[in-house]
Amino acid sequence: MKKNMLAMVIILAFTLTGCNNLNNNISDQDYNAIADYMASMILKYDRSYDEKLIAPAIIAEAASKAEKTSDLNEGDTKKDSSTGISENEGNSSGNAKDSKEAEDYKELVEVIGYKNLDIQYANYKLYDSFPDKKDEEYFTLEAGNNKKLCVVQFNIKNKTSKGTKFNLLNKEIKYQLVADSNTYTPLLTLLVNDMQFIDISIQGEKSEKGYLVFEVPKDIQLDKVNLLVSRDSLKSSIELK
């Protein structure tokens, strides 16, 4: 078994190096995703490994959904051919409209759709890598050059006395971080508690944590940060403090 694992490590190492040499245009995020997948394949054959990572098939399904969301975001920011101004930049009158629509925002738990759970935003922090290496996790996500990881944490509490499942994989929930006049979508990670495809069991009256990880510029201004969460026609806006 150890010989097989060593052979796999060598093969994947050459593969990853080769990909990097052949295509210097691969982004840091894509490079990390490739490395994460390879790491999961290696750990799959380690019997001593405590299963803490998401299966590659689930990651692939979530990636497909994220690609669709990305396409929609790109469409929203296309520039008008006659003015050269993007819709987000040119819609100065949108502030009044946004104020009217603010009353349409729902509570986070209503958007997510689990009435037996209390789901609350907890905090956000900036990291160079996450989870912190001192936590001795098997998986660590590294920020790219001149980047930081903005990690948003949620507290998820089971309000009932009976255990329940919490599964968001098929909910098609969209998350957007709005900061410093820019919008960011969350990275796909191998964390079991990633809110994009979390699938866990929560015991009665117990709590678990959920995370969203965004990659942002190192010098980003975080004076005003909002997280937008939407599902179908439901939406929630959370001011991050």
In angstroms, the Cα distances linking 98 to 5, 177, 185, 222 are 55, 17, 21, 21
pLDDT score at 61 = 56
Assign 191 to helix, strand or coil. strand
- Phi/psi region, residue 205 (left: phi>0; alpha: psi -120 to 50; beta: rest), is left
Q: Reply yes or no on whether the pLDDT at 6 is more than 50.
A: no
Residue 136 in this model has a pLDDT that exceeds 60:
no
From 64-68, 140-144, 212-216, 225-229, the region with the lowest mean pLDDT: 64-68
Amino acid occupying residue 91:
N
Confidence band, pLDDT 50/70/90 cuts, at residue 38: low
Q: pLDDT tens for residues 156-196? A: 999 999 999 999 999 999 999 999 899 999 999 989 999 99
DSSP 149: E
| Residue 186: C-alpha distances to residues 70, 77, 85, 89, 177 (Å) | 10, 18, 26, 23, 8
Q: Which two tokens stand for residue 81?
A: 């051919």
Which of 64-78, 96-110, 135-149, 151-165 has the weakest average pLDDT? 64-78
Strands 199-202 and 164-167: antiparallel
Q: Determine the Cα–Cα distance for residues 161 and 208; give it in Å rounded to an integer.
A: 15
Report the percent of the chain where pLDDT is more than 90: 49
Q: Is the pLDDT of residue 28 over 50?
A: yes
Highest mean pLDDT among 3-12, 103-112, 119-128: 119-128
Phi-psi region of 181 (alpha: psi -120 to 50; beta: other; left: phi over 0): left
Q: Is residue 8's pLDDT more than 60?
A: no
Query: From CA 121, how far away is CA 141, in angstroms rounded?
Result: 22
